[in-house]
Structure 1
Amino acid sequence: MCLGIPGEIVEIISGQTELAMVDVVGVRRAINTGLLGEGEVRPGDWVLVHVGFAMSKIDEAEAAATLALLSGLGQAYTDELEALAESDIT
């Protein structure tokens, strides 16, 4: 199962206009933000992450609610976090 997981942008990667570091429940990974447009995300913004791409911006309340819902999925959620932890697009 593939899920879109909320993550908080913690850093825009220097010299890479379409890459940002995101924190997803303590897992930090570089993601591609190109689908949102250059300059559309800043540290502190929340995005919905799917297969290494920021699919859309969401607000913090929606992120918290989605994370609570996803944590209830059990193994599918754990599998998605493990896949994220193992990914590297840099």
Structure 2
Amino acid sequence: MCLALPVKVIEVGCGPAGDMGLVDLGGLRKEISLALLDDVQVGDYVILHAGYALSILDPEEAERTLALFADISEPPLAAP
């Protein structure tokens, strides 16, 4: 099974070749490859898989997906 996550780009042009970017996912920051995409800008959401940005996402869709992940990760309420 593969898991790809939407992440927000907070910096572009990193790395020796300038084809890396810094992304944020809930406070976790990671440098990833942007080599497979053209015209990634700071503030874009991208799909991240195995260290590579695979596609640029619609920001509203990315935020909905991240909200669903947040709901899943919260512990259930205790029964009264």
TM-score by length of 2: 0.76
Q: Which has the larger radius of gyration?
A: 2
What pairs with 1:62-73 in structure 2 (closer than 5 Å)? Answer: 62-73=61-72
Q: What CA distance in whole angstroms lies between the structure 2 residues aligned with 1:50 and 1:14?
A: 18
Q: Give the secondary structure class of the aligned counterpart of 2:41.
A: coil
For structure 2, which runs of at least 5 residues remain unmatched after alignment? 74-80
Aligned residues: CA RMSD:
1.8
What pairs with 1:8-23 in structure 2 (closer than 5 Å)? Answer: 8-12=8-12, 13=14, 15-23=16-24
Which is helix-richer, 1 or 2? 1
TM-score by length of 1: 0.68
Q: What CA distance in whole angstroms lies between the structure 1 residues aligned with 2:52 and 2:15?
A: 18
Q: What CA distance in whole angstroms lies between the structure 2 residues aligned with 1:9 and 1:16?
A: 17
The alignment-based identity, stated in percent, is 38
Highest relative contact order (Cα 8 Å, sep 6+), 1 or 2?
1
Q: Give the secondary structure class of the aligned counterpart of 2:65.
A: helix
Q: What CA distance in whole angstroms lies between the structure 2 residues aligned with 1:47 and 1:59?
A: 9
Q: What CA deviation, in whole Å up to 9, does each residue of 1:11-70 have, x standing for no partner?
A: 111643210000111110001011113xx1111111111111101001211111111223
Which is strand-richer, 1 or 2? 2
1:7 aligned onto 2:4: no
